[in-house]
Structure 1
Amino acid sequence: MPQFNDQPAVAARLKELGAGVTFIKENIDLNILRHDVQEIFSYPAFAENSKKIGF
């Protein structure tokens, strides 16, 4: 979850590259967070795209 000024831009770029998801901090709840975590771990493309960019 972004906490500093540059982090929302970094998070948006990770999403654009298929290596992450973004959400609106004020709207987050347990169900949304659970869904996003499950999505990341369910689709190998997230891991593959993360490796491509060095994460």
Structure 2
Amino acid sequence: MQEQSTPRRPSRPCPECGKMSQQNSYPFCSSRCRAIDLNRWLSGAYILPPPPYNTDEEE
């Protein structure tokens, strides 16, 4: 029997440094770039915008 293998993701540029991504730290090129991105999320450097505020008063 042949084992089903999961398809590999295509390599793409690392969002931190631009080097090509590696399978073990996808979508980053290394654990260092992955840690840098995580630190930015945890420190509040990345924020999601709040939902739009509706000024119309609906009754």
TM-score of the aligned structures, taking structure 2 as reference length: 0.34
Which entry has the higher C-alpha Rg, 1 or 2?
Answer: 2
TM-score of the aligned structures, taking structure 1 as reference length: 0.36
Comparing both structures, which one devotes a greater share of its residues to helix?
1
Larger RCO of the pair (alpha carbons < 8 Å, separation 6+): 1
